[in-house]
Amino acid sequence: MNGLDMLLRDVFTLAIVCNQWGDTGKGKIVDLFAAEWADIIARGTGGANAGHTIVINGEEFIFHLIPSGILHDGAGKINLLGRGVAFDPRIFCEELEILRKEGMAYNHLRVSKDAHLVLPHHLVLDRVKEIDAGKLKIGTTGRGIGPLYVSHYDRTGLTVNHLLNKDFFAKELKRSIARTVRQLRIDDPEVVKGVMQHEHLEDGIYYHPEKIFDVDAIIDKYLKYVKEFRDMICDTDRLVQSAVIHKKNVLLEGAQGLLLSVDYGAYPYVTSSDPSVNGLAKGVGLSEREVDLTLGIVKAPYMTRVGEGTFPTEMGGDESAKWCGNTKVTRAAEEKRFTTGSVNSKNDFIQGVFIRMFGGEYGATTGRPRRIGCLDLPLLRHAIKYNGNNIILTKLDVFNECEEIRICEAYEYVGPTYNNGQEIISPGHRVEVPVPSNEFLKYCIPIYTRHKGWESDISGIKNFQELPQELRAIIRYIKSSTVTNIPLISIGRDRNDTIFD
Ligand code: IMP
Ligand code: MG
């Protein structure tokens, strides 16, 4: 039996989630299980704020909505977007167009009739709110995600199914937009007008000088979009539930990461969905009790974050946060500017820059440079409370040339006395598992352990025993100090660069 078969013995429903701030290399792992194992690959949370790179005909494409398993259409495999996905038809159509151009099949794609629709007013609200907030902005991806979930809970949301019922769609859209217009009237009209010219809003075709939104233009466009995917719309809950009953292999593909969860993440600098295994299961019409195995991905021995919010182990601290928040900083700009230095630089900020360049850590959705920090075990201990203790380590190869590796094993709390329920946290307290709030984390100073790096190329290694002893020691340390199992690790981009324990 090979490693994959052993791991998935008696597993029918497998969830792949992320235990950090997203961008941990989920796409590669999902692709691996999609190719070798799954009958159904289902997404259940997030929307076009997610981004993954897929290689087609040797060329790289960035997809946001379509699941990472899309290239596997053999033997009746189905890829679907579940009810919990924030569904943006414009982006979905763009992605279909790429597949069509590249000659890739997509008749194995399904879209939940119950998924909520991202509408132009969600995009406007998201962007205007961020401009308004100034320094207090969240640093969202601008994809309308927050306002979409607000509409959902505010009971003014529309679903994919509305697109199949023109009159319902028109009526509900007017109702939903009327509320938004009242809200936008208090904002600067010039800001609103400016935002409405954005390319994601079709360069201004939805703008109306008096009413703000030209509702007919929206109806027109959305009804055009749906023509492209009408046949894919169905009750995906039933499809997934029936697959579970018939013991098919169901792969649930997470988006974002636990630390971005609106329920369990570092609030309020989070996304508006719940990327935990609970949220993911719910987003495809299942209960998390029906998930046989959850694998939580952990980038190691470093981590990244995009957007605002405290990042205790960030290399270069505020300097890095500020640098990465500058919209002029791109991959090309960094490569031009930082020609001397290395991943072993004694300057934390510079070390972070080189890890970013080495690891290709630039947002797939926004192109923003991702903030780089050391692996944070306190936050990992928090994440596994919700996602369980089976983890995967990815991107280890990024550290091939590192002489010394720092890992945060706990924090020293230095803020004002904090009442955490009945627990009193005073200055000087050692924190092993933090309160996941931005206010709390901002007073947490990392306590690091130092580990000797492996300083060698690990590509091509096929089993744990062959890994350099320094790396094995680091893996043992992560396991024992978080009480986790690590059944596989990823040491490169290729599907073959995966080692099962
Ligand atoms: P939103 O999801 O666009 O509302 O953004 C909220 C926060 O989540 C921001 O800090 C984003 O940078 C972050 N975020 C959203 N999606 C992703 C992702 O796929 N990877 C990393 N960060 C994300
Ligand atoms: Mg991503």
DSSP states of 166-219: HHHHHHHHHHHHHHHHHHHTTS-HHHHHHHTTSGGGGGGTTEETTTEE-HHHHH
Report the relative pairing of strands 78-81 and 40-43 from DSSP bridges: parallel
Nearest CA to ligand 1 atom 15: 49
Is the sign of the CA dihedral 233, 236, 242, 246 positive or negative? positive
Evaluate if residue 69 carries a pLDDT over 90: no
Q: What is the position in ligand 1's atom list of the atom closest to the CA of 273?
A: 2
Q: How far apart are CA 384 and CA 408, in angstroms?
A: 16
Considering only CA atoms, which residue is closest to atom 20 of ligand 1?
Answer: 22
Q: What is the mean pLDDT of residues 256-283?
A: 98
Q: Which of 253, 254, 257, 252 is nearest to 22 (CA)?
A: 257
pLDDT of residue 61: 86
pLDDT at 73: 76
| Of residues 238 and 74, more confidently modeled | 238
Q: Please say if 52 is a catalytic residue.
A: yes
The pLDDT-based confidence of 493 (bands split at 50, 70, 90) is confident
368-382 per-position pLDDT tens digit: 999 999 999 999 999
Ligand 1 center from residue 316 Cα (angstroms)? 21
Active site residue 154: no
Catalytic position from the list 5, 31, 39, 52: 52
3-state SS assignment for residue 28: helix
Measure 43 CA to ligand 2 centroid, in angstroms: 14
Strand partners, 92: none
Mean pLDDT across 231-246? 98
Share of the chain above pLDDT 70, in %: 100
Output the pLDDT for position 365.
84
Please report which ligand is nearest the Cα atom of 122. 1
Specify the pLDDT at position 404.
97
Model pLDDT for residues 273-309, shown as the tens digit of each residue = 999 999 999 999 999 999 999 999 999 999 999 999 9
Q: Is the pTM of this model over 0.85?
A: yes
What atom in ligand 1 is closest to the CA of residue 23? 20
pLDDT at site 54: 80
Most informative mutation of 260, 264, 311 for ligand 1 (most atoms within 8 A of CB): 260
pLDDT, tens digit, 9 for 90 and up, residues 399-430: 999 999 999 999 999 999 999 999 999 999 99
Residue 362 to residues 175, 323, 463: CA-CA distances in angstroms?
39, 13, 30
pLDDT (0 to 100) of residue 57: 80
Residue nearest to ligand 1 atom 9, measured at CA: 140
Give the pLDDT mean for 343-349.
Answer: 96
CB < 8 Å & 24+ apart, contacts of 468-476: 471/396, 474/300, 474/301, 474/405, 474/407, 475/393
- 370 CA: nearest ligand 1 atom: 21
Q: Return the ligand 1 atom nearest residue 307 CA.
A: 10
The rounded mean pLDDT for the chain is 96
